[in-house]
Structure 1
Amino acid sequence: MSTDAEFADARRIPPIPPQPPRRPAPPAPPEPAADPHTAVLRRVPAEPSAPGTPPVPPRPTAPPPAPPGAQPPAAGAPLPPRAPGPPAPAVPPQPAARPAAFRDTAAFHLAHSQDLWSGPGAPSGPGEPDPATPQAAAGGEAPGPASARLAQPPWAPAPLPVQGGGPGGLPRRSPASRPGARALAAAACLVLGVGLIGGAAAGSWLTDEAAGATPDAAATFAKGRDVWHNTPVDTLFPRTVHGFGAGPGGADRTWSRIAVAPDSGCTGAYDPKLADALARAGCVRLLRATYVDATRSSVITVGAQITKADQAGMTALNTRFSTRSLGTRTDLMPLPYAARDTPAEDFGRAQRASWTVRVLTDIPVVVYAVSGFADGRTFAAPQPAEAATKPGATTAPAESGLGHDAKDLADRIGKDFRTAAGGPRQTTEASS
């Protein structure tokens, strides 16, 4: 059928009502600054036509011309019936412009919530336009090129709630997190650390100074009078004494303690002449111990007499023994301590081979030592230790080492008494 036939009955189509006048959009309310759901709303794009819908043809203003030879219908005559043909496509109503007030409805927020999940610029579905591309509203201007349009800001993330906030929504800081509290804590730690380091340094300095200082002579002398009951016996008379290079020719010697006599007075502990020579200093206590060498062939008794004399009296006694050679006289030899059931049980007056007597001047102590053979042999001519230890000596006490035993053990015990009294270990007087 021709095109003219399609429009032959055009006057029977009801007229399309005119479009109502466009209302002016009400002024937009001020956007709140703190609401993220209304601060980033964009312009509502115009709804596009459904896909696949042909454009609506323009409405004819005049009926189409009749074909040649056709008679116009008479006035008031009924119109001839329309030949059947394909139905005319349905004309969708023209969408009216959506007022701006619709943007606050729930449907609008649901339609534009895709940006919250897929990000700005993501299409809402197949066939739907990109919401980031604004469409011209009905009766408005067409959108310009993409380069000329301003980019819409992304959806602002909602601020996290502040827990423990104070008045006005401000976060409340704990006292430990305040800068002033942290600074005070750091300063206190610094002061404490400096104080500890300074105290340790001062203590070390004072200790070194005290260790390097010369001990008071009077205090040492007074303390030396009490060492016999304030010091363990193993400190004053060690169980084992090592004499490195102390034997004849520089040989090493080792002595082991085999007996310790009970502390006692000086009555009956000396020969009469030696007792008279030491009586000027007085006697507080007498300590004795007996040793044996590593070969168990020689025995040595070491004694220490605690005197009552003062420092001047001990100095005078030492001078008297040195100037008058009282330490080298055979009638002034000390007596040995012969303990039973030991190698020294046969050690008596006749078995004495060498001896020495030391009058100490820094503490009130007289130290002596006497040596002999353990097999009980006698000596007709005993020799002082100072003479038996001289280079080139060929006597029996010198070659057997008995002189070295007496001298070195007396030196060692004298040093132990000085150390117990807090004094220096070096000898301060000459051998008697």
Structure 2
Amino acid sequence: MSKELIKIALDEIARGTAEIIDMERIEKLVTEFYENGTTYKVKAGFDPTGADLHLGHTVLLQKLKIFQKHGGRVQLLIGDFTATIGDPTGKSETRKVLDRDTIMANAKTYQEQVFNVIDESKTEVVFNAQWLEALGAGGMVALTTTFSVARMLERDDFEKRYKSGQSISISEFLYPLLQGYDSVELKSDIELGGTDQKFNLLMGRHLQRAYGVGKEQAILMMPILEGLDGVQKMSKSLDNYIGITEEPKDIYAKTLSISDELMWRYYEILSEKSLEEIAKISDEVADGILHPKVVKENLALELVARFYNEESANMAKREFDNVFKSNKIPTDIAEFELESDIWICKALMDVGIEPSTSQARRDIKQGAVRIDQEKISDIKMNLQSGEYILQVGKRKFAKVKVK
């Protein structure tokens, strides 16, 4: 029986991964859990450089949840020290340094959000300032002797910046060393990260060996989740993300906006359905039994239910169908008061459904702006006293009372 459970566990662990280094060690750890009840340490680090988590972050969190199911004790590392440097991974220039108050506020928000996905009772939250500040100057110098500048410059993003004459600060060289030292301190058995983190993850193995920890962590890398555009990495700055604390109706609507092709990738990486279930759904779509839109709706329902509940998911679907299929107005529109004779473009910006007056102009010219469900084309229009429903596209609404 345990052999069958071990195989199921290893299949779930390997699902959707981009690369695993030392799968033999992972297999040994999982086997020891099922045969002897021995748990093991799984580390995942998050630098609290932003306040909210999106679906891209949950790719790692869901894999942590799988490890928890099969004997892993999660070490959720909040990089309150490393966030003051900023991970240089994939950056073409030195990151701005965050202040301590912002970092700690973000860290608190992270902790509140991650337990929507992983089991808090099987998680230890740790902050790396606890040991990195204690390293002191002597410890920091000793850490730098474990790795050469030449090897550091082999890293792709550093190499590109060095060859193009762009600045690389010494603190950025320290970042992968500090992240690796976290694994020394925590004596991690496995570390998870995205494919863009490979250099930093391998540093953990290197430093565990250099400091004589007695083990070398296995590494599991997850693919980078594409954003709603299906091209670039999901990112708040690119506005192609689905935040896990967004309103249910927004999570639902944004999920339905993805392409049919991207939908299957989201199913593989984000859904809790088995690969067999997903393959069956795919076959039914190919055979014309299921419409891709229904499959996408089911994914949207699953994601909303995960971060809220089934009732919220069903309400989000009803609201979406009400607005999009029946061309009706949502029931919970934000209300605003504005002064009379306000320029329409400024009104759209002031109520938050346009980012700028220039974007409002463009959207009006393209026929994307409606007042009381009627398209407008006059970019010079002013709103007089009265009540209006302003709309941009199919998802942005505001109720305005002009005094």
TM-score by length of 2: 0.18
The higher radius of gyration belongs to 1
Q: Which structure dedicates a bigger proportion of its chain to helix?
A: 2
TM-score by length of 1: 0.17
Task: Tell me: higher relative CO, structure 1 or 2? Use CA pairs within 8 A at least 6 residues apart.
Answer: 2
